[in-house]
Amino acid sequence: MPKLKTHKGAQSRFHITGSGKILRTKGGKSHLRRKKPGRVKALYDEMIPVHSRDKARIRRLLPYGLR
């Protein structure tokens, strides 16, 4: 069986924990951020888990990330 290629866009956007969770960052964190309150800006910095419906799609893009 040939090697599978990792999708480089997905590799930079998602992080896989040791327990197998797939984490992502929130969108919209770079533009029009100055006017938002501090507590809202802090929400953009944390990694949040991917929805369960999207996990299978992301696993196909990252074939070697879930070992």
Q: What digits encode the pLDDT tens for the residues 13-46?
A: 999 999 989 999 988 888 888 898 999 888 888 9
Domain ranges, ordered by start, for the chain:
8-61
What pLDDT is stored for residue 58 in this prediction? Answer: 94
- Rounded mean pLDDT, 40-65: 92
pLDDT of the residue at 1: 85
- pLDDT score recorded for residue 66: 61
Alpha carbon distance 26, 45 (integer Å):
8
User: For the domain 8-61, what is the CATH code?
Assistant: 4.10.410.60
Confidence tier at 8 by pLDDT (50, 70, 90): very high
- The CA-based diameter of the chain, rounded to the nearest angstrom, is 52
